[in-house]
Structure formats: structure tokens, C-alpha cells
Structure 1
Amino acid sequence: MPTAPCSAGYNPDLGFAAGGGEMGAVVRGFDWTGTPLGPLATWPQSLRTAAGMMLAARHPMYVAWGPQLALLYNDSYREVLGAKADQPQQILGQPFSQVWAEVWDQVGPMLAATMAGESLWYEDQPFTLTRNGFVEHIYASFSTSPIRDESGAIAGVLCVCSETTGKVRQVEERLRLLDEIGEATRLAAEPATIMEHSTRLLGQYLDVTRVAYADLEPDNDRFTIRHDWRVPGAISTAGVYSLDLFGSRATSNLRVGRTLLINDVDRELAHGDGVEMFNQIGIQAIICCPLVKQGKLVAMMAVHQQQPRTWTRDEVALVEAVVDRCWAHIERVRSTEALREADRRKSEFLATLAHELRNPLAPIRNALELLRIGADRPGLKERMLGTMERQVGHMVHLIDDLLDIARISSGKVVLQSARVSLQSVAASAVETSLPLVEAAGHELALDLPREPVWLDGDAVRLSQVLSNLLTNAAKYTPQPGRIHVTATTIDGMAVIAVTDTGIGIAPEALEQVFEMFAQAPHSIGISKGGLGIGLCLVRHLVTLHGGSVTAASPGPGLGSTFTVRLPLAAPAAGQAQGDEHQAHTAPAHPALRVLVADDNVDAADTLGDLLQAMGCQVQVTYDGEQAVKAATAFNPDLVFLDIGMPRLDGYGAARALRALPALAGVKLVALTGWGAQDDRARTGAAGFDHHLLKPASPDQVAVVLASAAPASG
């Protein structure tokens, strides 16, 4: 259709002022007679107003009017139309279904919904168009609003739209690069490999000079660039730096987890505020993304350009996305490695535990066989009994360490704190450890203050700390060696050091020795066994006392020193001397009647034999129901009850015995392998008077018997 020449100024036939760019002129000069809209003079005021507003807008818009949704559009919408815009006579005023026939199945329902009164919004909607002579896949964001005529009825649709193909393609490209990085690092087993692949792919995609990553020291300033990908000819930035030297802009952003963005170092930074450092390593533009954990900057990844560069929002978003993906992947790799390491150490621990528990069983079994076949040999009985006693003590020590670790890990250790002297703690620890030290042929030297050094703590646990350190030194020192214990006071702390001439510790293992189940590499043949939990137990117990423990060593083969620091007790007057440890082992009363119940027949019978040897009248049973029945006839003064018995457990048996009026004064003793505070509370609630850990020592049994003996008149 031919177009009429346009005239400047107001067109009374059109009803709105001249303007609207090229399309405004086209609309005013267009012959509308043969279109569904009809001549301009017949257009309702509502259509004229909508058309005028649309033509004056700079954003792509169109108006679809009337039952056939005849199309009007502005200059900006011509870009959406493509080559179709070159022939306006085939588009202006024509039905939308004809102009955009290829997408009518998508757009038709949208326009119908708007004509029914709905306002719609779509973002990045995909379309397949034929607008430039070939098929194109595009994306568009748009909103549609109903236009009402003079009567208030909906007569048309106003659409504000924009093509977003470029933006979506950039997003897709970014996603493709994340995918590439993910595939390249999928099988990577080390963080360094992940970063090498990621920096290369990111640097090549952005066409930059260099991509580097660094990790920070705990001081939140010193950082090390471990690796950088760079284009040929660019210098490497690998090395150690101070973050403060890069100026206030870098530090203020990175230390709080905000991306550092600089387009032109020389123009944006002042001299003396970082510009010199950036220039020194050839950086004129940078995007640097930080990783902050628990308020500390721990790592950074940066994109460098040796010339000024105006970074786009999409480029910044891409770098941030890649960095997020890298950190997440590295965390997964580290978590997986930590799980593997934990599993490996658990397996090693179980194997060591089996080995350590079997070791004492062999001499015990041999001693039993020798007693059976040669009991009449002079001195054999005493030697074999000594062997069995030592080996049982070793097993009890192993099990006690395991239970202590379990209690500490679950927060169930309660310290029995009292005023105690460092000297008494050291004496107790030496008494416990001296047999092992002497058996290994080592010399032990003590250098303690002459005046008492007072601590507030659990004497038994503190002695355990020092004993474990002495035992550890004896195990890992080749024969003959020297172990030196020194103690002093510094700044309100007692400082105890245990130094040996043993196998030493490599620098990288100084912290690892305190971890659960840790043993020095290649030390199994040198040490005298153990589960690798002694030093872990030491650290936990020292921490519970408000102190600290550290390890130091000049290196492998050069010995080591373990230093414990504990807070001194506040000064107190009238300190009683020699009252920290008093063992009270009273003899049994011959008239005591004792009932034993344990489903382990050997355990029940041997305890019964021990009690008889102590002068008691004893009856032995093997489950809870038997114990209750026997008690009614035996009328015991004291009952030892195993907790884990079949048919009726120790708790049930205790409640049943407490319900018998004839046994109102009986004393009940719980025998169990569980010794945490809540375990003791549970036995107390069930009516027990005493709680003994298996295997109970003869001294512990004697103390219980003494407490049950009637008072002498």
C-alpha cells in the first residue's frame, strides 16, 4: 500500500500531535482505508491515545486493536520485526495472527487472556521466528495490558516488550563454562588440580592476562598465590604478599567478603594506596573474589588484565559463579578426603585394638597352662600370678582409656576438683609409669620446685595426664634413653615439660599427634604398643582444666618435648599437707553374708572365691531371678549385681530386692562396664549403694565390704 506524505504539526484527522519518530510519520501518512482499523478519522479516542503513547515511547511496544487484533508498533519494535519492518504496508493494521503466524499458537492464548481482562508478564520466553528469511530461536520478555474504549469495554492490548536473546545466550554460555569446569574437575582428587583447570578455562573464556588463586594465613593479611594461569609472555605472580600493601580499597572489600572490581588501576587508585603493588605485578584491571569463613578471609581467586578494561556485569557474575563452583567442589573433595582418612584411621585403630587386646591374652593363657601342668614347681605360682596380674592391668588400662575418650567426647566427664599440689600429682604419675620406664632401660630425671605448687583440679585426672606423657616418652624412645621432667611457674601458670631422647616428630605432624588414634608414622616397631589415644586424652583433660598442651621437636630422631600449662590455684591459708590422697582399705568383716549375681559364670565364681578368701559367707547365682529367690532364704548383708543379665537385669533385681521388707538394710553394689555420670545416676535411682566398673579390683571390693560391715561397739 502506498503511504501518503506526512505534514508537520497537528493533524486534526489523527487527533494527536506530530512526533513518534519515523513510525509516527508512517502512521500519519498511511492509507488505513483497507485495514480492519479503517480511516484515521474514524478511530476512537481511546485508540488514538494508546497509539500516541506507544509511538512516543522509546521502549519496544505494539498495540493490537479490535477483534482481529490489528497491529500498530513504534520505532523500537522494528528491531524485533527484523526484515519484516521493511514492508510496513504488509504489517501495519494487519491481524496479529497474520503478521506473526509462526508464533500465533503461543501468543494467541496470551492475547486472548488479556482481552478477557488479565495483565500478563513473561520473562525470557522462547520463540521460533521467521523474520529475516530464515528460522531463528529467540527469547523475549514482555508484559500485556488491556486497553478499554470509551464505553469501558476492552478493545485492545498494549504490549511492552524487549528481545533478551543476547542476555540468555550469555547466561547459557556461562552455564556451559561452569559445566566445562565441572567436567574437567569431576575426577580431580586434589584442590590444586581443580584450581588449575578452573583458572585455565576461565582465563581463556574471558581472554584475560592471568587468573590466579591464593590462600591466606590466620593473620588475615599474609597470602600466598599458589598458582596462576597466564597468557604466553605474562609474568607469574606466584609468591607471598601482604594484603595491606594493595591498599584500602582491596582490604575493605575482600576482608568482608565483597568482590574487588577495578577497571583502571592508575585512574581509580591513589599513589601510596595500592597502585604501586598492582603495577609491580602487571595488573591494570582486576576482578578478585574472596572466600570468607567465620569472619576470616581464607582464600581469593582473581582475574587480571595488564591493560585497563571495563568489566561488564555479566563478566563479574561469571567470575563469581565460577569461584563459587570451585570453592564448593574443593570443599566436597576435602570432605571426601577427610571421610576417607577417618575411615582409614578407624580401620587402623580396630586392627591395633585387636592386636593390643590379644597381646596380654597370650601370656595369660600360657601362665594358666603352666599352672595346670606344673603347679608344684618352686616359685612358678608366684611368677605366673605376677604375669597375669600385670597383663590384666594392661588390658584394664587400655579399656579405661577407651572409656575416658568416649566420656570426654560426649561431654560426660565430671572433674572431682580439689586443691592439689603439683608435686603429689607428679609422684603419683611416676609411681604409675616407672615400671614401664625402667623395663625399657630408660633414665628418668625429675626437676620439680621445692616449695609446693598448688593447682585446682582433679588429682586423678592430672596424674593421668602426666602418666600418659611419661608412658608415651618411654614407648617412643629407643633403649637406653633419657626422660626429663621439669616444672616451674610462669605468669600464673604451672608449666610442666616432659622431654625425651626418642624418635622425634616431623614438623608437619606436631599437631596430628594429638588427634584421635594418631601414632607417629613407622613407629609401630619402636613403640611398645598402644591405641594412639593417649595424647588425645591428654589434650582433652588438660583443656577441661583450663590449660593447654603443645608438642615440639627438632625433627625425626632428635627427641621431643611435650609442655603442659595449667592455671595455678588462688592462694589459700591453712593448707593441710599430705591430704590429697589417702587410700582407705579396711579389712572385711568375717560375719558378712554376700550374694553374687552375674550371668558370666567365670566372673561370678571368681568374685565369689575372692569374697570367701576375704572371710565372707558367699552364695553365687547366675541371673537376676535366681538372685531375688536366693536372697529371701540367704538374707545377705551385701549383694553384687551385674547390670546386663538375662531374664531380669540388675536394675530389675535391685528394685525387687528393695521391695522385700526382710532385706531393708541390705547394701547393693552395681557391677557394670559403664561408668559415666548418668550411668551412676541411673544405678543410684534404681536403689544401688555402690557402682563398680568391671573388672573391680580387690582394693575396691575391700572398700565396699568395709562400708557394709556393722559398726563395732
Structure 2
Amino acid sequence: MSDHRSVPALVLADAFDWSATPFGAVAGWPSALRTAAGMVLQSRQPMCVMWGAGLRLLFNDGYRTLLGARAHGGVMGRPFREVWPELADLAGPMLDDVLRGHATGAVEDHPFTVERNGYPEQIYVTFFTSPIHDDAGMIAGLVVTCVETTARVASRRERDDAMERLRLLDEIGEATRVASEPRAIMEEATRLLGEHLGVTRVAYADLEPDNDRFTIRHDWRVPGAISTAGVYSLDLFGSRATSNLRIGRTLVINDVDVELAPGDGDGMFNSIGIKAIICCPLVKGGHLVAMMAVHQVHPRRWTAEELALVEAVVERCWAHIERVRSTEALREADRHKSEFLAVLAHELRNPLAPIRNGLELLRLSGGSRETVARVGGMMDRQLSHMTHLIDDLLDIARVSSGKIVLHRELTDLQRIVAVAIEATQPALDAAGHKLSVRLPDTPQPVDADPVRISQVIGNLLTNAAKYTPRNGRICVTAHAEEGVAVVQVADNGIGIAPESLDAVFDMFTQVARHVERSNGGLGIGLSLVRRLVALHGGTATAASAGPGQGSTFTIRLPLAEASPMAAGDAPPAPDAAAGRRLRILIADDNVDAAHSLADLLALEGHDIRVAADGAGALELAAGFQPEVVFLDIGMPGMDGYETARRLRAMPGMQAIRLAALTGWGAAEDRARGRAAGFDHHLLKPAVPAEVRAVLAVA
């Protein structure tokens, strides 16, 4: 700083006695200096006069406020350099220029740390400096006006930060817009955010379905920092983290060692090198779906702007990831659909080939009893297989649309298992499998639809038969544990890879298609198992030690409290061998189906008439007066429902037995049939035993 005693007008101020009052002290000053001092002391704006050697200070109350704690301790009259040492190097040259008359100087938006109310506070001030000229035109001193610009600087900084955040978000959006897989999005988003904030690590995590565990899929980190990728429980990070994250509140910790109680998460944070953290949870539809965490290796006071930025990034990152995952899911669904259609075509053709061959054999054999018996058995098996495929298709459609109706009753699980084994025994025998069964000695009562649960166990046995090489071992066990009936079907077959254990229950999914199977399938059997069991309030799971190690499928069903119905309480089956000759009318637009059924019934001695549509059926019925009518529902023109209503309205037709023949078997289809006047509802192709049961009660 220059020595200004060489300026003549300032010599008068060197003798100033600072023990006197400020107004009294300036009495001997040049008039211009006294005038400036008076103006300064009376102004509310922070101002001071600088004069004499070292530029001593004379300041007003406004300037005293600006000084904060520095205003105490007799700083009035002390040199500028002593009061503002941080300004000496910056403002000294500027003040020299002003004193030499070169210019009016200013220092804009300079930061200061002042102590106010006992706390340090950073402020920004702009100083405007002007010379004071005496009567001879010499510079007698300086007037300094101070304007605090903290609010303006904060506003400008906030605006700049906002623009920087927008630029970062745009950069993340552009970098991830063309990404074709979730990991690429995570890599770019975490890297850009981490470099922008200058942190140690940025991690992205998905929440697991149980909403208790989360999986860090990827973390960007500075060189030397460890990776935190893996599966964690929320509870590991202490009560504060758990309570915040579960409700979707951002977790902010500036200093782990200070803010967390010992044993309440501090150990976990320290084990992965974290002293400060922002963790933003993302809640969608009331569920925690994702998190993004920003880690700092040392304590750090996070700003509101940094919190807002992390929250914006995790929102955008998740949206991009879900977009990619949705696209992947659509592709996967399309692939499954294509595979399913190919398998469906294959599986439906499989039974058609032996049936066609069988027909040719019958034609060439000339009606040989031995050939008829052998070919007839083969054709019956193939038709049963095709019917099973179609039934599975219909069932999965009903379950998926919520239209399946359970006919629950109190029954013994052992009976259900026995029925399932009886139905699948031919397939097991054909593959040479050895079946062992271990059931409890006491009844296991369940409140269930016995047909559907038998179907579930049958599907598991069929699955085991298909995926176990010939002459394998299959074991069915059942037991009770804690109010739950547990049924397991285990095999020593091809096994399941760990990553596929849950996928085997997905629609149209088959594991290890390349393995030769004794029977085909559409990949819906296990999906149907899980859904039917779920409708009963139970669960279905798969377990395997891996490929080649066999599989175990387990279903769990709630046990009922009461005892199951005794075997003697079952209603008697209808007598299908009544032997009475009946007048039967068949109406079906499928000529082959109608006449083949007519031929079968004629062989049993019944009097048959056949119509190709509803109008023809009404015309025949008027003169024939049938006792039993089989009506196809899907006839052109007048459908089966309308035909049934009109038949019921004809004179003398109120007591006839009406049976629907249809491919539609949902609950609403059956209800519509009853409303139209049908007594029975038979699914195509009608099993001869079901047809005879209709005739038995006519």
C-alpha cells in the first residue's frame, strides 16, 4: 500500500486525536474532508472515509453492521489494511489509482466472512471508491460506499446452477435416449452425475418384489473406490435410512460419524467407505421401485440444489430404464408368442398324423377285429392328448381373464392325488418311469375344487414324465405342516438352471427345448399350476440343484379344519346302462360331427334325426317329438341358444332333455346355456361316457 503522507492535504489529518468524538476530530480537516465525513456519518448506507497514512477509517453505523464482529475493539481510525487484510492485495492497487486521480474504483461482489450473532456468515459486497478533493484540487482522502450484494450473487448463482443442472439433465437424456439396454443407461447417468458433483461413488439400485431388499445394479466410482454392486437389506443401514427410504423420503447424511448413533447403520456405511450420502428413493404407485445413492468418502454439507439434482436424475434414469425394459418385454412377449404358435402347430399336428394313419389302416385291413382294437386304442389316446392340449389352452385363458369358477368342496387330499396319478399313469408307464408315492396315513382335509387340484398334480406329473429320461424315478409325497398341506413331485430328470427356476411358471415358457421329450406341450402347464393354486390361496414353487440334477415342484394349500366327506357319502353315479330306446335329435352345422355322433347313438339302438341348423332342428322336432336334443351352440343364422328357447316353447317340448355341444366352457357360457333352457353343457369333442350320462337321466 502506498504512503499517502506525501499528499499535502492529508497532513492535517495525521494529527487527528481519536480520543475525541468523530465530529470534533474532523474540525481541523479541510472543508471537503469535513463535508465528506459529515455526509458519511449521517448516511444509512454503509460508508466510510479513508484518509492519512495507511488510509485510516472513519465509518458510520451502517458500515459497522457490515463489519460485524470486526466493529468491536476500537477499529475506528485504524488503517484499512489492518481492518480488511483480505482486501489489501485486491483493493490496494485500485485505491492507489484513485488517490493518483486516475479513476473512480470499484470492487464488485467480493466475498467476506463476517461474524454476526455469534455465527460466521459469508456475504458478498461491492465497494465504490471516489476521491475527496480539497480547495486546491488536491486529493484529501477517499469516500467508500459499500453495497451488500449477497442476494444478487445468490440469485445469479442459483440461476447459473439451475442452467447447469438443466444442461446435465439434457446430457443424460441425450446419452441414454438411444440406449438399448438398462445397464448402458445406468452407466451413463451415474458417470455424468458423479463427475458433475465431484463425488466418490454414484450407485443405481432396483427394489426387489418384497420391498425390503434392493439390488445395486451398477455404480460409477472414482479410481480406487470399491464397488458396492450386490443385494442388500434396507435394515442393514440403520433405522434412519430404513424409515426415510420406505416412505420415499430422500436420505441426507452430512457426516456419518456425527449424525448416526453407534450401531445404527454407521458400521455399514463405514464398511463401504462412506462418510456423507444422498440416497433418493423413487416411489411409483405407492411402492418403492428404485434408488440412486451419491457417496462421499469424507464429510460434506450437501446443498438443496444438489439434492434436487439427484432426485431429478433418478426420476429420469428410471423412466429411461423402464422404457427400455418395456421394449425388451414386448420383444420377449413377441418371441414367446412366435414360439408358442410354432409349438401349437407342432403339437396339434402330432396326434393328427397317427389318427390319419389309423384311418388308412382301418380302410386297408378290411375291418379286422385285431386291427380295429389296436388302431382304436391308439386313436383314442391321440384324441385324448389333443383334447388335453385344448383344455389347457381354454383353462389358461379363463384364469388369465379371471373367468374361471372354482367348485370348492371339503375333500381329502389323498383322493385328489390318487385321481391325478390314475389319469397320468399311462404316460408314466409309456416312458418306463418308476413312480413312488408316500402319503400320510390320516386324511388331509382341504377346501378345494378337487377337479382343479387333481389337474394341478396331474400337470406336475406330466411335466416330470416329459423332462425325465426314460426309466427315470418320480416320487409323489404329501404331508401337513403348520396348517398347510404340502404336495411334492420330485424327479431325477434334466433339472433346471437356477436362473430359470421362477421363469418355468411363466406363460409359454419351456426350459431345455432341445431335450427329446416323450410327449409335447405348449409351455402353459406350469403356468396353469401356479395360477390355479393361487386361486385356492396356496403357492407353487420349483427347486433344482441345477441341470442334470432333477427337479422338485412343491404346492402348498391351506388345510381345512373339518374332516373330509367320507367315501360312502358321495352321490351315486347315474346309471348309464338303462337300455331304453330314445328319440334323439342332433343339430350341428359340422356335418361330420353330427353324423358320427348319430351313428354312435344308432348303434346303441336309439332313433336318431339330424339337422344342419337351428331352423331345420325346429322343423324336424315338430313331427319327430324328440326326448333328447343335442344342439351345437355356434350354428349360423339361428344359434343354439335361440333354438333351445324356441324348442322349449313348442307344444309338448317342455320335458325334453337339452344338451349343449360347444367349445366354450366358461362359467358365463354355462350360465347363458342354463338361461336358454339347457339341462347339460358338453364340451367338444364330447366324451361318449358324458353323452351316455345325459341319456341315462332322460
TM-score, structure 2 as length reference? 0.75
Q: Give the C-alpha shift of residue 352 in structure 1.
A: 0.8
Q: Could you say what secondary structure the match of 2:487 adopts?
A: strand
> 285-294 or 514-523: which moved more?
285-294
- Give the counterpart of 2:605 among 591, 615, 620: 615
* Counterpart for residue 120 of structure 1: none
Q: Could you say what secondary structure the match of 1:365 adopts?
A: helix
The one-letter amino acid paired with 1:437 is: L
- Give the counterpart of 1:632 among 622, 633, 638: 622
The one-letter amino acid paired with 1:474 is: A
* Counterpart for residue 421 of structure 2: 430
* Counterpart for residue 383 of structure 2: 392
* Counterpart for residue 516 of structure 1: 507
The one-letter amino acid paired with 1:362 is: A
Q: Give the C-alpha shift of residue 434 in structure 1.
A: 0.8
> 314-323 or 595-604: which moved more?
314-323
* Counterpart for residue 605 of structure 1: 595
- CA-to-aligned-CA distance 1:1-52 (integer Å, 9 cap, x gap): xxxx78969xxxxxxx9755279xxxxxxxxxxxxxxxxxxxxxxxxxxxxx
The one-letter amino acid paired with 2:297 is: Q
Q: Distance in 1 between matches of 2:556 and 2:258?
A: 54
Q: Could you say what secondary structure the match of 1:663 adopts?
A: coil
- CA-to-aligned-CA distance 1:210-264 (integer Å, 9 cap, x gap): 2223445667666554433223344444456565454443333223211122334
- CA-to-aligned-CA distance 1:618-641 (integer Å, 9 cap, x gap): 110101111111111211112111
Q: Could you say what secondary structure the match of 1:330 adopts?
A: helix
The one-letter amino acid paired with 2:431 is: A
Q: Give the C-alpha shift of residue 469 in structure 1.
A: 1.4
Q: Give the C-alpha shift of residue 692 in structure 1.
A: 1.2
* Counterpart for residue 356 of structure 1: 347
Do structure 1's residue 419 and structure 2's residue 443 form an aligned pair? no
Do structure 1's residue 21 and structure 2's residue 21 form an aligned pair? no
The one-letter amino acid paired with 2:438 is: D
RMSD of aligned residue pairs (Cα, Å): 3.1
Give the conservation status (yes or no) of the 8 Å contact 2:613–2:638. Answer: yes
Give the conservation status (yes or no) of the 8 Å contact 1:420–1:455. Answer: yes
Give the conservation status (yes or no) of the 8 Å contact 2:574–2:696. Answer: no
The one-letter amino acid paired with 2:291 is: M
Give the conservation status (yes or no) of the 8 Å contact 1:589–1:616. Answer: no
Q: Distance in 2 between matches of 1:453 and 1:206?
A: 63
Do structure 1's residue 666 and structure 2's residue 690 form an aligned pair? no
Matches within 5 A, 1:464-483: 464-483=455-474
* Counterpart for residue 92 of structure 1: none
Q: Give the C-alpha shift of residue 642 in structure 1.
A: 0.7
Q: Distance in 1 between matches of 2:177 and 2:334?
A: 22
The one-letter amino acid paired with 1:369 is: E
Q: Distance in 2 between matches of 1:540 and 1:270?
A: 47
Q: Could you say what secondary structure the match of 1:449 adopts?
A: coil
* Counterpart for residue 67 of structure 1: none
* Counterpart for residue 484 of structure 2: 493
* Counterpart for residue 454 of structure 1: 445
Matches within 5 A, 1:210-249: 210-215=201-206, 225-238=216-229, 243-244=234-235, 246-249=237-240
Identify if the C-alpha distance between structure 1 residues 400 and 500 changes in structure 2 by more than 3 Å, giving closer, same or farther.
same
* Counterpart for residue 250 of structure 1: 241
Do structure 1's residue 334 and structure 2's residue 325 form an aligned pair? yes
- CA-to-aligned-CA distance 1:113-156 (integer Å, 9 cap, x gap): xxxxxxxxxxxxxxxxxxxxxxxxxxxxxxxxxxxxxxxxxxxx
- Give the counterpart of 1:178 among 169, 175, 199: 169
Give the conservation status (yes or no) of the 8 Å contact 1:643–1:649. Answer: yes
Q: Could you say what secondary structure the match of 1:661 adopts?
A: coil
The one-letter amino acid paired with 1:500 is: D
Q: Distance in 1 between matches of 2:296 and 2:284?
A: 28
The one-letter amino acid paired with 2:695 is: L
Q: Distance in 1 between matches of 2:261 and 2:458?
A: 62
Identify if the C-alpha distance between structure 1 residues 270 and 367 changes in structure 2 by more than 3 Å, giving closer, same or farther.
closer
> 274-283 or 379-388: which moved more?
274-283
Matches within 5 A, 1:201-350: 201-215=192-206, 225-238=216-229, 243-244=234-235, 246-292=237-283, 297=288, 299-350=290-341
TM-score, structure 1 as length reference? 0.73
Q: Distance in 2 between matches of 1:424 and 1:245?
A: 48
Q: Distance in 1 between matches of 2:230 and 2:410?
A: 53
Matches within 5 A, 1:511-660: 511-572=502-563, 575-580=565-570, 583-587=573-577, 589-660=579-650
Give the conservation status (yes or no) of the 8 Å contact 1:447–1:487. Answer: yes
The one-letter amino acid paired with 1:648 is: M
Q: Distance in 2 between matches of 1:390 and 1:186?
A: 55
The one-letter amino acid paired with 1:186 is: R
Q: Distance in 1 between matches of 2:221 and 2:442?
A: 67
* Counterpart for residue 405 of structure 1: 396
Give the conservation status (yes or no) of the 8 Å contact 2:290–2:318. Answer: no
Q: Distance in 1 between matches of 2:265 and 2:374?
A: 79
Q: Could you say what secondary structure the match of 2:553 adopts?
A: strand
The one-letter amino acid paired with 1:601 is: V
Q: Give the C-alpha shift of residue 369 in structure 1.
A: 1.6
Q: Could you say what secondary structure the match of 2:282 adopts?
A: strand
Q: Give the C-alpha shift of residue 506 in structure 1.
A: 1.3
The one-letter amino acid paired with 1:424 is: R
- CA-to-aligned-CA distance 1:418-443 (integer Å, 9 cap, x gap): 23223322221122111111111111
Q: Distance in 2 between matches of 1:586 and 1:440?
A: 34
Unaligned runs of 5+ in 1: 10-16, 24-57, 59-160, 709-713
Identify if the C-alpha distance between structure 1 residues 521 and 185 changes in structure 2 by more than 3 Å, giving closer, same or farther.
farther
Q: Give the C-alpha shift of residue 276 in structure 1.
A: 4.7
Q: Distance in 1 between matches of 2:663 and 2:554?
A: 33
Q: Distance in 2 between matches of 1:274 and 1:484?
A: 47
Give the conservation status (yes or no) of the 8 Å contact 2:203–2:293. Answer: yes
Q: Distance in 1 between matches of 2:654 and 2:229?
A: 81
Identify if the C-alpha distance between structure 1 residues 291 and 397 changes in structure 2 by more than 3 Å, giving closer, same or farther.
same
Q: Distance in 1 between matches of 2:209 and 2:649?
A: 64
Q: Distance in 2 between matches of 1:241 and 1:598?
A: 63
Identify if the C-alpha distance between structure 1 residues 583 and 429 changes in structure 2 by more than 3 Å, giving closer, same or farther.
farther
Matches within 5 A, 1:50-69: none
> 306-315 or 330-339: which moved more?
306-315
Q: Could you say what secondary structure the match of 1:301 adopts?
A: strand
Unaligned runs of 5+ in 2: 1-34, 48-65, 67-150
Give the conservation status (yes or no) of the 8 Å contact 2:445–2:563. Answer: no
The one-letter amino acid paired with 2:398 is: R
Q: How many residues align?
A: 565
Structure 1 stretches of at least 4 aligned residues deviating more than 6 Å after TM superposition: 5-9
* Counterpart for residue 367 of structure 1: 358
Q: Distance in 2 between matches of 1:399 and 1:220?
A: 38
Q: Give the C-alpha shift of residue 457 in structure 1.
A: 2.2
Give the conservation status (yes or no) of the 8 Å contact 2:248–2:282. Answer: yes
- Percent identical among aligned pairs is 65
Identify if the C-alpha distance between structure 1 residues 22 and 231 changes in structure 2 by more than 3 Å, giving closer, same or farther.
same
